[in-house]
Amino acid sequence: MEIEDVDEVVPIAATSILNPWSRDMLLGEVAHPFSHCFLICREEEDVPLGFICFRNVGEESELLNICIDPMHQKKGLGKRLMEFYIDFCCQKGVKKYYLEVNPQNIPAFRLYQSFAYQEAGKRKNFYQGKYDALLMER
């Protein structure tokens, strides 16, 4: 994802009820020195269908967001982005993976479980200062 892609990604990011990212958050992440942001696109048209953002420092990676356009969910695209993410990080020498997820977010929780992430603790009042986050690691 480049800065010029962000306007097309904003509507997708906004659909995530439990973890919506604003335009400014996307721009900040694309510009961040430790961050990597990638799109998954419709092949023939280059239209973004989803994105993933993560930060890597040394042998550790934190997954910050993964989001698929609701019209294209449950078609294996989230899985493909996660496969890409793990493969990319393996090649960079990442050994430890972290993320936070809202425990009510069953699709995301199951996706991470299917990539061997395990529950590793809780962050109190992580979302909007009131909802706990589940910390997962792999």
Ligand X SMILES: CC(C)(COP(=O)(O)OP(=O)(O)OC[C@H]1O[C@@H](n2cnc3c(N)ncnc32)[C@H](O)[C@@H]1OP(=O)(O)O)[C@@H](O)C(=O)NCCC(=O)NCCS
> By the criterion CB under 6 A, which residues form the site for ligand X?
16, 18-19, 65-68, 73-79, 101, 105-108, 110-111, 114
Annotated catalytic residue 59: no
Annotated catalytic residue 29: no
Torsion of CA 13, 132, 64, 34, to 10 degrees: 130
Burial class (CB in 10 A: 0-12, 13-18, 19+), 131: middle
Q: CB of residue 116 vs ligand X: minimum separation in angstroms?
A: 12
Give the integer Cα–Cα distance in Å for 112 and 122: 16
Q: CB of residue 3 vs ligand X: minimum separation in angstroms?
A: 22
**Residue placing its CB nearer to ligand X in the complex, 93 or 128:** 128
Residues marked active site are found at 100, 112
